[in-house]
Structure 1
Amino acid sequence: MIELVHTSAAGPDALGAAYRLLEVVFEGDFGAEDWEHSLGGMHAFAWEGDTLVGHGSVIQRRLVHNGRALRCGYVEGVGVHPDHRRQGYGAAVMGALESVIRAAYDLGALGTTEEGEALYRARGWLQWTGPLSALTPDGVVQTPQEAGAVYVLPGVMPLDLTAPLTCDWRDGDAW
C-alpha cells in the first residue's frame, strides 16, 4: 500500500521508520543533512502490512533555466529495502510522487546514483546534459561533479536539456 502524506501529517513513527529505512538502503551513506532535504513536502510511504519497505519524497525547490525561475518538485530520499526490491515498490513510490509533481510544479528533478538510473529512465525522466550550478551565498558555483546524475521530468515548460541549469542553495549536497 502507498500512503501519500505531507511531512507535517506523517507523524514521528512513520518519519523515523523512513529515516532508518534510508540508512539501510544507502548502507550508512545517509545522514541528517540528507534527511533534512527530504522534509517539508509530500512523502510516499510503501507499506507491507506494518513494515515500511519503500519511501520517497518530493519537496519544492527553485531551478533557474533559460532566465526563468521554475517551481520544481524535487525528489529526495527514494529507496526500497533490499529484501523488497524488484517487486514494484520503487515504481509505486515514484508514481505517487510524479502525480504530485504533475499537479503542482513546472517540472520534476532529482539527483540519482547509477543504480537508480534505470528506474527513472523507464518512467520517462530525462538526463540533464547541460552545465549544472548552484546559486550559493558566494554567487553561482558550477557543480560539474553532478554531470550525468541529474534527471528531470518535463512538465508544461519547454526545456532545453543542453542549457545551463542552476539550483537553489541548501546545506549539504546541492543536487
Structure 2
Amino acid sequence: MTPMTEVRIAHTADLDAPALDAARALLDEAFEGDLSDHDWEHALGGMHALLWEGAELIGHASVVQRRLLHAGRALRAGYVEGVAVREDRRRRGHGASLMSALEKVIRGAYDLGALSSSDEALPFYAVRGWRLWEGPTFALTPLGIARTEEDDRGVYVLPVAARLKVAGELVCDWRDGDVW
C-alpha cells in the first residue's frame, strides 16, 4: 500500500539541512544533472511546497520574491522556481498539488506570479491559468537594461492585482545564472 502524500509549505529558513538536501537531490535527478548551483540558489529564500510520501520527498516547488518592471511600474512578483516531481510519481496530479499551494501564496502576497518554463511544461501552466508573456523580455543588468530574446515565449505570468499588457515589455531584476 502506498503511503499518503502531503504537501507541506515552509520558508527556506524553516527547513532543516536534511530537507534542503533532499530537495536539491530531487531537483538534480529531475533535471538530469542540468541544475546549476545558481538554479538551486534561485529556488531559495522564499516559500517551498514540499510533497512528501511518508518520509520520502517526491516533489518540490518554490516561490521567491522578485521585482519585475512593466508599464512604468515596479511589480512585486512571486517567481516560481524548482518545480519537479520524482519521475516514478509523475502524471498523478502531484505537480498540480504543488502549484496549487504556491498559487495560494502568490495570490495572497504578490502583484503577479511569474515563471520561466521548459517547452514540455508549457501546457501544464497554461491549463492552470498562467498566461504566456507575448511581448519582449529584458533584464535589468549591472550595465543597464538588456534584451533577453532567448527568453521570449518562455515566460508565463499569473495575473493577480497588477494590470498587465502581455504584449508589452517585461523587465526582470538581475541575478547570476539564468535571469528568467
What is the TM-score normalised by the length of structure 1? Answer: 0.99
Gaps of 5+ in 2: 1-5
Instruction: Tell me the matched-pair count.
Output: 175
SS at match of 2:13: helix
* Corresponding residue number in structure 2 for 1:47: 52
> 1:21 maps to what in 2?
26
Matched, 1:31 2:36: yes
Match of 1:152 in 2: 157
Give the letter for the 1:29 counterpart.
Answer: D
1:62 aligns with 2:62: no
* Amino acid corresponding to residue 87 of structure 2 in structure 1: P
Task: Letter of the 2:42 partner, please give it.
Answer: H
Per-residue displacement from partner, 1:40-77 (whole Å, max 9, x unpaired)? 00000001111111100000000000000000000000
C-alpha displacement of 1:31:
1.8
- Tell me the secondary structure at the aligned position of residue 96 of structure 1: helix
Q: What displacement does 1:156 show?
A: 1.4
Equivalence for 1:137: 142
Give me the CA root mean square deviation. Answer: 0.5
- Counterpart in the other structure of 1:81: 86
Distance 2:52 2:124 in 1: 20
Q: Which amino acid aligns with 2:145?
A: V
Shift of 1:88: 1.0
Q: Can you list the C-alpha shifts for 1:119-146, whole angstroms capped at 9, x where unaligned?
A: 1011000000100000000100000000
What corresponds to 2:130 in structure 1?
125
Q: Which amino acid aligns with 1:114?
A: D
Matching residue's letter, 1:12? A
Partner of 1:162: 167
Amino acid at match of 1:155: V
Corresponding residue for residue 3 of structure 2? none
Q: Percent identity?
A: 55
Unaligned runs of 5+ in 1: none
Match of 1:2 in 2: 7
Residue 79 of structure 1: how far off its partner (Å)? 0.5
Give the Cα–Cα distance (whole angstroms) in 2 for the partners of residues 157 and 143 of structure 1: 22
Cα deviation for residue 99 of structure 1 reads: 0.4
Give the distance between the partners of 2:14 and 2:101, measured in 1 at CA.
Answer: 17
Partners of 2:143 and 2:42 lie apart in 1 by 21
Q: Which amino acid aligns with 1:150?
A: V
Distance 2:15 2:148 in 1: 33
